[in-house]
Amino acid sequence: MGSDGFAYQRQRMVDALREEGITDRRVLEAMNEVPRHFFVPSHLRHQAYGQDVSIDIGEGQTISQPRVVAAMTQAAAVKPSSRVLEVGTGSGYQAAILATLCQFVFTVERIASLAREAKRRLDALGFENVSVKVMDGTLGWRAMAPYDAILVTAGAPEIPEPLLEQLADGGRLVVPVGDRGRQVLTVVERHGERFRRMELQGACFVPLIGRHGWREEGR
């Protein structure tokens, strides 16, 4: 994926992530590899590598800031052998980062046009280890469970129960939990039938809408 005219900006983004405390070498390498500008509308490409920019991708949705993608990916602690579920495909960028690091990524999106466009991008970049599906991700994707990691990239009012059930033993769920405007990035680690919950940092995601999330117009 290398020389595409944005290699310098991408390297600077990764340097800034390192300075901000992202220490996982594989995560930094993946973020240096995946062409983030490919996942944003063409007229906003010049903003693609800004640390604090969450960019509008249409349908009222956004691609998360690089620092949030890096923090969530690091928290998920994925391995090359991991099978991962992402809830909230959006642009497909987070799925591309995960697909660079893991064996297989299942990603679900409730808005069909976003899922279609994300799949087109992932195919164009040659990712063969990603499946994209249109559905309510608060239900998980039961047929493909269990998952070594689950990342939810929209803000949940509480941790969706089906996602806990679909986590493999030793697996990690990373999910922003809070109110519609502000959440805390939360990590849940499964140990048999016990779940250890940790809180990482504040976050500000679009709402997770679905059966185990928010209602479309508030609840």
Sites of contact with ligand SAM (CB under 6 A): 61-64, 87-88, 90-91, 93-94, 108-111, 114, 136-138, 153-154, 205-206, 208-210, 213
Q: What dihedral do alpha carbons 26, 19, 61, 204 form, nearest 10°?
A: 120
Beta strands in 27-179 (DSSP E): 55-58, 61-63, 83-87, 104-109, 130-134, 147-152, 167-178
Cα–Cα distance for residue pair 164/175, rounded to 1 Å: 11
Nearer to ligand SAM, 28 or 156 (CB): 156
42 is catalytic: no
Cβ distance 33 to 98 under 8 Å? no
Nearer to ligand SAM, 146 or 162 (CB): 162
Give min distance, CB of 39 to ligand SAM, in A: 6
- Least distance in Å: CB of 61 to ligand SAM? 4
Q: Which is nearer to ligand SAM, 108 or 187 (CB)?
A: 108
Question: Looking at 64, 81, 82, 91, which residue is catalytic?
Answer: 64
In the numeric block, which tokens belong to residue 211?
A: 């059966």
Omega of the bond leading into 160 within 30 degrees of 0 (cis): no
As measured in angstroms, the least distance from the Cβ of 162 to ligand SAM is 11
Alpha-carbon distance 89 to 110, whole Å? 9
**Nearer of residues 123 and 169 to ligand SAM, judged by Cβ:** 123
- Provide the minimum distance between the beta carbon of 76 and ligand SAM in the complex, in angstroms, as a whole number: 13
CB-CB contact of 64 with 86 (8 Å)? no
User: Which residues are marked as active site?
Assistant: 64
